[in-house]
Amino acid sequence: MNKKIIIDTDPAMGTKGGDPEDCFAIMLAMNSPELEILGITTVQGNVPVERGYSNAKYLVTELNRDIPVHTGKPGTYDQDRNERRKWLSQRQEMEQINPLLDIDEDSKGAPKFIVETAQEHSGDLELVTIGPLTNIAQALDIDPALSKHINKITMMAGAATVQGNVTPAAEFNVWADPESASKVFNSGIPVRMVPLDVCHKTRFGREDLNKIGTNDHPFCKFVQEAVDPWLKINPNQAIVDQGLHLYDSLAMALCFMPDLAEYKNAFVSIETKGEYTDGETVCEFNESIMGQIFKPKPNSEVALDVDVEGFNKIFKERVIDFLVNL
Ligand code: RIB
Ligand code: CA
């Protein structure tokens, strides 16, 4: 039976210089028969929400998929945090390639869509979150019993035993809105956390990414245009030559092929008050610390190792080959 999912995402393919990776993850989901996508919800992160919404709508329309897209609101979950993350909603100067759509003020919005879909498909729904967790925290405010309806969240989030990628302590998706992440990890919904520990093990060759542009289909040209700056962004070309890290696509793959990774159970707490550590995912792996286990009941399974070749194969077949043959 297909796994029913909602994808919560901050897609930037279509905004010049934006991270195209979320859209690859969405394409991977679209081309995976193991999944049924009930909707896509967009959140402030890589780009402001109206851009993420426009980018998601463009992707769905160009690929002729009948998938509802709903947007969250600008801003973080906690207003005080919003002051400190203002730049996330101020990237208005970035050039928009595909049309910037108006957000329908009457639309139900991402949190309400998540709640209603979860209630309708109670016990038969998973979330895949590949951006900050603002919409999910707001959905929990609307229905505090949401954990009864959602089986699992597979999330690209955090850094368990390695450095962060925004600060030494924090990974972008959690750092962007730590209060929302804290609410979600404490919600009772089981989490499969896909942290930088495994994302940074992935290496996908740029020769394969460059094959997309060999297809003259306008959508492939659009994708290649989005990928080019990403390939050039790392000043260390030797690292780029070894292949690029895929974060969101790995999380997506682990939703339907969990055996590609190895996990350890942990209780994950989110640092929200640290001077240097805001957004840190503090993982207690249920191992005794000086004879004491602080949180014996885990809230997450944390991916710590991954079959990179197995993942690359799936990504190549379902995303690159799909685009090359479009
Ligand atoms: O830290 C990696 C995450 O932030 C991914 O979701 C990617 O989209 C990036 O912006
Ligand atoms: Ca993302």
* pLDDT tens digits for range 160-183: 999 999 999 999 999 999 999 999
Q: Which helix (H) or strand (E) holds 147?
A: none
Q: Is 20 helix (H, G, I), strand (E, B) or coil?
A: coil
CA dist 222 and 325 (Å) reads: 15
Is residue 233 over pLDDT 70?
Answer: no
Average pLDDT over residues 266-275: 97
Burial class (CB in 10 A: 0-12, 13-18, 19+), 308: middle
So what's the pLDDT on residue 301?
98
* Nearest-atom index, ligand 1, CA of 247: 5
* Nearest-atom index, ligand 1, CA of 12: 8
So what's the pLDDT on residue 305?
98
Question: pLDDT tens, 100-125?
Answer: 998 877 789 999 999 999 999 999 99
Q: Identify the structural domains of the chain with CATH numbers, from first to last.
A: 3-324 (3.90.245.10)
Ligand 1 near 22 CB (within 6 A):
yes
Question: pLDDT tens, 56-75?
Answer: 999 999 999 999 999 999 99
| φ/ψ (deg, to 5) at 235 | -65, -20
The encoded tokens of residue 249 equal 């696509």
pLDDT band at 229 (very low <50, low <70, confident <90, very high): confident
The encoded tokens of residue 242 equal 């070894």
Among 22, 175, 252, residue to substitute to test ligand 1 (most atoms within 8 Å of Cβ): 22
So what's the pLDDT on residue 234?
64
CA dist 315 and 309 (Å) reads: 10
Is residue 141 over pLDDT 90?
Answer: yes
By percentage, how much of the chain surpasses pLDDT 70? 97
Is residue 242 over pLDDT 90?
Answer: no
The encoded tokens of residue 244 equal 């690029």
Average pLDDT over residues 302-322: 97
Please name the residue that has the structure tokens 């919600």. 187
